[in-house]
A and B are shown apart, each in its own frame.
Chain A
Amino acid sequence: MKTRIAIIGAGVVGASIARVLSQYEGLEVHLIERNVDAGMGVSKANTGIIHPGHEDDPEKHPLRAKLCVEGNRLWYQWTKELRIPAKWPGELMVALEEEDIKVAEYYLELAQKNGVPGVRLVDREELLRLEPNVNPNAAGALWAPTAGVMSSPMAAVALTENAVDNGVKFHPETEVRGIKVENGEVKGVETNRGFIEADIVINAAGLYADRISAMAGIDHFTIRPRKGEYYIFDDDAGPKVRRIVHQTPTPTTKGVYVITEMNDGVMIGPTAEDLPEEAKDDTSTTREGLEFVWEMAKKLVKGLPPRSRVIRTFAGLRPEPPDGRWIIEAYDDPWGFINVAGIRSPGLTAAPAIAHYVAEELIKGKLDVKLTKKSRWNPYRNAFWFKALPREKQAELVKENPSHGRVICMCRTITEGDILDAIARMKKMGVRTITLDGVKLRTGVTGGTCQGSFCRVRIANIIARETGVPLWKVSIKGEGTEYGIGDIKVLLRGEEE
């Protein structure tokens, strides 16, 4: 008999768990997601940093400290296997004032305790050699060479796609309404699309993990949203930084980061603003938040690109548990229920390690489920982007299929072939509604200089053609976000609604 597992939430944490579980025999894994696609919640909007692992005190947060260091190592392998765009430029924690050096020294100590390789202090002179755009008055920095940057929105969809390829069933647009418990044991999950039987339910519902947990009767915690606002500049706007640059944390602020993100644009942010519990969907930017980021970033680096070169501002929400403590637990009552809740920073970094921890320590250890590796498990995802291929390969592709020769997103050089490939992958993964955001997450279209004003209509048109939906009804991110309201004469005919 198979052990049935339901994972609630296809963010980077839930999808990582699904991927890890997909390598074992005898499991039937269901990945349940409220949104139209994987990675549309917390995972969609963050700094995308793979932390080196020296920011947690192993005495205060032992699990977090351990899983972050492990997660960093695992991502190095996972990003390659899954073709998630990533780079590893290392990180400089900059001491702006002389007294901040003490703070940097404290983190050096944590790095030693956590076993983070390569971390050391650098003086001003070396700092400016490593990173000429840093504030020349900075006192020095802590250098952590293992830090990386990745395309975090791409991560959750890549993980889910690979999990599905290995037998996991993905249920998008499926909202959990209850968790069935009988005789102190978990029996399954009630959803808007019916009942999903399960022997084990894993709650990885991000900002909503408190509500899901309460459905299983565990209601001793709440998750509060913490907002982070960001700017991204155009890919050719400088000055840039080569490494990940941030400020030594202070009791009041962790400071903002200045990085060069995966698409080569400088990114600055985030803020850290605690919102009330009910504001779990408030991803709006604010004038105050953005001004704060600007001022902080200006202290960190000598120069920012001009404001006129900003191509996007955005805000994301991070789940903040009580006392900042991750809640990763399997319970006796109800037996079979596992919380992976309140996964605040460095949750993105730790996700692969969290997934292994859940499988090995909780499912195998605590719940005593036998885990046997499949003889055949495919760790790879064969994604490609036309622009990243060598010229000969590009020429071959165009010859095979002319759609690869049609560049649709000019700012980012994304072809119709790339878009068709993304749509096919979405269908195969089990996505019900092919959305503009889904295509954006997978290809990068509309994320460049023009933010889609040239190409969005053309992409919507391709989606309409491939899915048989009228153009106006193609949605940005699901119901209520349709591209238009009808054909051009809809209002004149008086057929509203």
Chain B
Amino acid sequence: MRSEYDVVVIGGGPAGLAAAIKAKELGLNVLLIESREFLGGIPMQCVHPGFGIHYFKEDLTGTEFIHRIIERFRELDIEYYTNAHVLEVAPYSYRHKILRIVTEEGLFEVAAKTVIYAAGARERHMFEIGITGHRVAGIYTAGEAQTMMDIYGVMPGKEIVIVGSGDVGLIMARRFTLEGAKVKAVIELMPYPGGLTRNVVQCLEDFGIPLYLSHAVTRVEGKRRVERVIVTKVDEKLRPIPGTEESIECDTVVLAAGLVPYLKVIEKAGVEIDPVTRGPVVNSYLETSVPGIFVAGNALVINDLVDYVVEQGEEAAMGAYEFVKNGGLPALKWRKLVKGRNIRLAVPHYLADTKDVTIYARVGEPEENVRLRFPEIGKEIRLPFVKPSEMIRVKLKREEIARAKDRITMEVVRDE
């Protein structure tokens, strides 16, 4: 390991690999740090299709998708460590960050002009979604269950209740069924499914798995292992309605209750956090509030598609390139991206007229026949529907950004 790099990438999943590849292609010297024993990140445990439709224009499985990226990474001969953990990212000066890294080969301290943080997200667990009851065997997050099955070859359980109908929950329902387990129900808090309609049909309806909308698992019961869950209807404010409890016998509970960006290391470095995305606040170079620390992938915002994650990795690498080339990003006039009607979250948070930018956003509620509007720059896009589960991805051109004075509002308006 040398002692100074243009860019150190933290995380060897799709965002980190894409960032490292792009940075290397731009001529930067790059080090990538991965905490697990192999590169590839979460797609390594995704044996189902639906990956790469935008990026490779092909429908691939997660493992096929990431294989292609890893091949490219290897061709470029990028320096990397697996089984390596970043203990600290200390912003030493505007130009340098000091990283403390522990690996099997020893402890290292390296300086980096820029850092691209792409360590992904963690899953929400039972304690933060208000499930009470017994803490027994047979409770897994979806990602843990998926890792057990598809990396280590272990079957978690036989009779399964899944909490959450996002794409992860739906795909796991199908996966368990194909391995011979009985999925007793998928429980969804919201009045609508959290995942794509295609997945509701292909993963639940085709297998006759019941979906409980506006319901919550409120309690897990069992002596040694899960024996049953108590499911309760919720009102419009998502509070459980007393008297509507129903018991479902099962030996396994799988929690697919959403993801939260995992930011431990850079939070300590002082990056500002957006309370809604729970990821960092970034500008259109994907630079955080600590100059020279960039972020991409699910550590930035929870994405639906790996294609977006890869795109963000490349974007962050281009940001790092600008930073290294100019000794920091140029002084710019930033326009704040303001969330208007029915926009729950949107990144990046600050836009400049120096480059085109891709905005990733989510709505708060499903609506049909709407327009996505940016009033200050006079831009409007017609959309047949919007759903909280489907990310809106929209490009703004630099000339469009230039039209706004100090803020750009993004809003969903009804078509009448």
Q: From known contacts A283-B134, A285-B133, A483-B154, infer whether A413 and B85 are also in contact, taking CB-CB under 8 Å.
A: yes
Q: From known contacts A398-B107, A449-B122, A457-B144, infer whether A406 and B83 are also in contact, taking CB-CB under 8 Å.
A: yes
Chain B residues within an 8 Å CB radius of A486: 154-155
CB atoms of B225 and A405 under 8 A apart: no
Q: Is B180 on the interface with A (CB-CB < 8 A)?
A: yes
Chain B residues within an 8 Å CB radius of A410: 35, 85, 264
CB atoms of A457 and B148 under 8 A apart: yes
Q: From known contacts A236-B267, A453-B122, A491-B180, infer whether A405 and B106 are also in contact, taking CB-CB under 8 Å.
A: yes
Most buried by A among B156, B218, B221: B156
Q: Is B102 on the interface with A (CB-CB < 8 A)?
A: yes
Q: Is B143 on the interface with A (CB-CB < 8 A)?
A: yes
Contact of A485 among B130, B157, B240 (CB under 8 A): B157
CB atoms of A471 and B154 under 8 A apart: yes
Chain A residues within an 8 Å CB radius of B151: 457
Stretch at the interface among A194-202, A218-226, A295-303, A311-319: A311-319
CB atoms of A485 and B85 under 8 A apart: no
Q: Is B27 on the interface with A (CB-CB < 8 A)?
A: no
A-contact 0/1 string along B149-166, CB 8 Å cutoff: 101111111100000000
CB atoms of B147 and A457 under 8 A apart: yes
Q: Is B87 on the interface with A (CB-CB < 8 A)?
A: yes
Q: From known contacts A472-B155, A481-B137, A487-B155, infer whether A450 and B123 are also in contact, taking CB-CB under 8 Å.
A: yes
Chain B residues within an 8 Å CB radius of A281: 223
B-contact 0/1 string along A388-422, CB 8 Å cutoff: 00010011001100110111001101010000000
Chain B residues within an 8 Å CB radius of A475: 137
Q: Is B284 on the interface with A (CB-CB < 8 A)?
A: no
CB atoms of A491 and B181 under 8 A apart: yes
Chain A residues within an 8 Å CB radius of B130: 287
Chain B residues within an 8 Å CB radius of A485: 155-158, 251
CB distance from B234 to the nearest CB of A (A): 13
Give Cα A405–Cα B137 distance, bound, in whole angstroms: 30
Q: Is A81 on the interface with B (CB-CB < 8 A)?
A: no
Chain A residues within an 8 Å CB radius of B225: 480-482
CB atoms of A490 and B155 under 8 A apart: yes
Chain A residues within an 8 Å CB radius of B77: none
Chain A residues within an 8 Å CB radius of B135: 283, 314
CB distance from A268 to the nearest CB of B (A): 13
Q: From known contacts A410-B85, A487-B154, A491-B180, infer whether A311 and B128 are also in contact, taking CB-CB under 8 Å.
A: yes
CB atoms of A287 and B264 under 8 A apart: no
CB atoms of B102 and A484 under 8 A apart: no
Q: Which residue of A lies closest to B87 (CB)?
A: A413
**Interface residues of B, CB < 8 Å — how many?**
52
Chain B residues within an 8 Å CB radius of A496: 158
Give Cα A410–Cα B87 distance, bound, in whole angstroms: 9
Q: Is B206 on the interface with A (CB-CB < 8 A)?
A: no
**Interface residues of A, CB < 8 Å — how many?**
60
Q: Is B224 on the interface with A (CB-CB < 8 A)?
A: yes
Q: Is A286 on the interface with B (CB-CB < 8 A)?
A: yes
Chain A residues within an 8 Å CB radius of B179: 488-489, 491-492
Q: Is A451 on the interface with B (CB-CB < 8 A)?
A: yes
A-contact 0/1 string along B215-252, CB 8 Å cutoff: 00011010111000000000000001000000000010
CB atoms of B122 and A450 under 8 A apart: yes
Chain B residues within an 8 Å CB radius of A413: 85, 87
Chain B residues within an 8 Å CB radius of A134: none
A-contact 0/1 string along B240-282, CB 8 Å cutoff: 1000000000010000000000101001100000000000000
Give Cα A391–Cα B87 distance, bound, in whole angstroms: 12
Q: Which residue of B lies closest to A308 (CB)?
A: B128
Q: Is A290 on the interface with B (CB-CB < 8 A)?
A: yes
CB atoms of A488 and B181 under 8 A apart: no
CB distance from B297 to the nearest CB of A (A): 16
Q: From known contacts A281-B223, A453-B144, A481-B225, infer whether A405 and B153 are also in contact, taking CB-CB under 8 Å.
A: no
Give Cα A488–Cα B224 distance, bound, in whole angstroms: 22
CB atoms of B132 and A290 under 8 A apart: yes
Give Cα A287–Cα B151 distance, bound, in whole angstroms: 36
Q: From known contacts A450-B262, A482-B137, infer whether A405 and B83 are also in contact, taking CB-CB under 8 Å.
A: yes
Contact of B127 among A313, A407, A454, A471 (CB under 8 A): A313
Give Cα A451–Cα B129 distance, bound, in whole angstroms: 13
Q: Is A371 on the interface with B (CB-CB < 8 A)?
A: no
CB atoms of A391 and B223 under 8 A apart: no
Q: Is A461 on the interface with B (CB-CB < 8 A)?
A: yes
CB atoms of A402 and B104 under 8 A apart: yes
Q: Is B114 on the interface with A (CB-CB < 8 A)?
A: no
B-contact 0/1 string along A424-461, CB 8 Å cutoff: 00000000000000000000000001111110110001
Q: A391-B107, A486-B155 are in contact. List 8 more A-B contacts (CB 8 A).
A: A285-B132, A405-B104, A405-B106, A413-B87, A450-B123, A454-B122, A457-B144, A477-B137
The 6 A-B pairs with the shortest beta carbon distances in the complex, nearest first, are A491-B180, A480-B224, A407-B85, A481-B137, A402-B104, A453-B141
- The contact sample of 23 A-B pairs, CB cut-off 8 A, is A236-B264, A281-B223, A284-B221, A285-B132, A287-B240, A308-B128, A394-B102, A402-B104, A406-B104, A407-B102, A450-B123, A450-B262, A453-B143, A453-B144, A472-B155, A480-B223, A482-B137, A482-B225, A483-B137, A484-B156, A485-B251, A491-B179, A492-B179
